[in-house]
Structure 1
Amino acid sequence: MAKVSELYDVTWEEMRDKMRKWREENSRNSEQIVEVGEELINEYASKLGDDIWIIYEQVMIAALDYGRDDLALFCLQELRRQFPGSHRVKRLTGMRFEAMERYDDAIQLYDRILQEDPTNTAARKRKIAIRKAQGKNVEAIRELNEYLEQFVGDQEAWHELAELYINEHDYAKAAFCLEELMMTNPHNHLYCQQYAEVKYTQGGLENLELSRKYFAQALKLNNRNMRALFGLYMSASHIASNPKASAKTKKDNMKYASWAASQINRAYQSSCHGSAETNLRMRVQSLALLSELRILHCCELWCRLQMQF
């Protein structure tokens, strides 16, 4: 197999810089990281200086993701020799246990880390990830809530908790989590969009109106958010056809739905002037978005039926 440096005519310095860039961007391109990183540690370890240790860690995580346990174990052994007793290296050992589906061993290891360092957030998050992998969402939710009592500013944890509540169809609590995120990130269009989707799923005139407003806010923050545009169309259309809505509300929402439909059509027409690939991608995205919104509407109807029995 040809070496990366020979195949792409790059120096080891360029390969090292590429690995650093992938770390900074938090890229999950595991195959490329394994290819470049394996050559770096095999051929140029002596030239990398202290960078070698972070590269070992980076390559190990990518190797677990890519199914290269042999490479992951090699990197882990090198790190253990250099940093015996390190909690960070112990956590990597736990991640290898997870990849091997030895969940009990991983949890025991994380518990030992937490006994020595109760503030080790990475170990606590790994335990929650295991609960998710095991399908134990209720336990994951409980542990995430306990975690957020101590680390209330962890936005990633709030978003993870929202996703778990959505999976459990507890939309009211999911909405609360997303409200927390929007308070600290008012200009994040994706949080506005997801909050709007949750309110849309909850159903009812009041929730639909909130849904439409937040879809509109997501569009205001990012006018290229097609998912929010479709959401605006769907929510406004449902409000316009709701028998509990006033005549003025229906009229206004018919205008909103009409505007959204025209914007969707314009976006589609613009894509038609591009390449065949762009056109096809636009069609697929449109169908996928409509499908997801129909699923949300079905969930809303199902919840209403459940409440009647």
Structure 2
Amino acid sequence: MSSSLLHPPSHLPPATASRHSQQAPGILENSPGAISTSILQSMLSTSETQELWTVYENLMLSCLRTGDDDSAHQCLGRLVNRFGNDNERIMALKGLLKEATATDNASLNLVLQEYEQILQENPPNLPIAKRRAALLRSMGRIPEAVNALNSLLDMSPTDAEAWAELADLYLAQGLYSQAIFAQEEVLVLQPNAWNIHARLGEMLLMAAKTSDASKRLTEALKRFCRSVELCDNYLRGYYGLKLTVQQLLSEPSPKASKQTESEEWAIPASSTLQKLDEAATEKLAEIVRRNSAGEKDWQGYAEAEIEAARELLKSRSTATIR
């Protein structure tokens, strides 16, 4: 059984999720179909492992991604048999399956009504609250999705996933200040997550086009530098670093400034910016070269990111992160 089945399918490349879906019938046939809900019997069962239920859940999600609804139903059925219908996580998975198999907006509205009924009876049900917010967003009801996430965060202010989703919703509406605030909350909860530093840098880079350009660009530079410090081969970090440096260098005669108590970070000298640009260029070139050569430890990058890096290296001009 593939070890990648122990990782959330949302983080897997489409090809891997497709392969899991193709393997689903064989995995289901050769795995236990029903294990007692009794805790004592489960402890004594040789086939009862934490990995088994992780595999069933992740296999279900991969099957939903590829349209194998039958296998997804089988996976969910085994989880229900083990944990029961009243388990909050199971309730969310059941709702997700209904969302994925819904054929029209009327069906989705019925699922939404079920979520709201569950939350009326049990407001602290976080898995259902998250599914409700995600469903509202997928239906294009963005203001309601924002309200749903804010309500969720009132109950669970340390939920990094909810803060990240809220930041993304604000960003989609062009509300940069709100998006940056929400992303900073994610960073408070996950201070060593290089992708979160880079994502905040991207938001600051976009916001710099509307106001406070120098301040936001220098803060973005800080975030991208921290991102690549934490992960030496992080493509998005170097990509954002190069874009930010290019914008700072394109400003009229950028000058280093002394940091004051009111400033979070000073603008580096032009010579420093040039060195950062050279470092980012060199690293991006290495990533593209070694990935294209098929080197074992240099795979796993999204093809779109590799192509964007290749184009940036060719043009050496400012591009937009999407």
User: What's the TM-score, normalizing by structure 1?
Assistant: 0.74
Q: 1:121 aligns with which of 117, 126, 129?
A: 126
Length, aligned pairs only: 278
Is the counterpart of residue 40 in structure 1 residue 27 in structure 2? yes
Decide which moves more: 68-77 or 159-168.
Answer: 68-77
Segments of 4+ moved more than 6 angstroms: none
Match of 1:111 in 2: 116
Q: 1:182 aligns with which of 176, 183, 187?
A: 187
Rounded to whole Å, the distance in 1 between the matches of 2:92 and 2:239 is 42
Rounded to whole Å, the distance in 1 between the matches of 2:143 and 2:311 is 29
Rounded to whole Å, the distance in 2 between the matches of 1:260 and 1:153 is 34
Q: Residues 62-211 of structure 1 correspond to what in structure 2 (within 5 A)? A: 62-77=62-77, 83=84, 86-101=87-102, 102-203=107-208, 204-211=213-220
Tell me if the contact between 2:288 and 2:306 (Cα under 8 Å) persists in the aligned partners: no
Match of 1:261 in 2: 277
Q: CA RMSD in A?
A: 3.6
Match of 1:214 in 2: 223
Decide which moves more: 67-76 or 99-108.
Answer: 67-76
Report percent identity of matched pairs.
23
> Larger helix proportion, structure 1 or 2?
1
Tell me if the contact between 2:180 and 2:200 (Cα under 8 Å) persists in the aligned partners: yes
Please say which structure displays the higher CA radius of gyration: 1
Report how far residue 117 of structure 1 moved: 2.4
SS in structure 2 of the partner of residue 294 of structure 1: coil
Report how far residue 125 of structure 1 moved: 0.6
Decide which moves more: 120-129 or 252-261.
Answer: 252-261
The aligned amino acid for 2:96 is M
Higher relative contact order (Cα pairs below 8 Å, separated by 6+ residues): 2
Q: 1:30 aligns with which of 17, 23, 34?
A: 17
Match of 1:231 in 2: 240
Tell me if the contact between 1:233 and 1:256 (Cα under 8 Å) persists in the aligned partners: no
Rounded to whole Å, the distance in 1 between the matches of 2:160 and 2:109 is 28
Give deviations 1:213-242, integer Å, cap 9, x for gaps: 222222322333343334333323333443
Tell me if the contact between 2:168 and 2:179 (Cα under 8 Å) persists in the aligned partners: yes
Contiguous gaps of at least 5 residues in structure 1? 1-14, 300-309
Decide which moves more: 191-200 or 83-92.
Answer: 83-92
Q: 1:283 to 1:35 in 2, by over 3 A?
A: closer
Rounded to whole Å, the distance in 2 between the matches of 1:293 and 1:136 is 33
User: What's the TM-score, normalizing by structure 2?
Assistant: 0.71
Give deviations 1:127-166, integer Å, cap 9, x for gaps: 1111121122221111101110110011111111111111
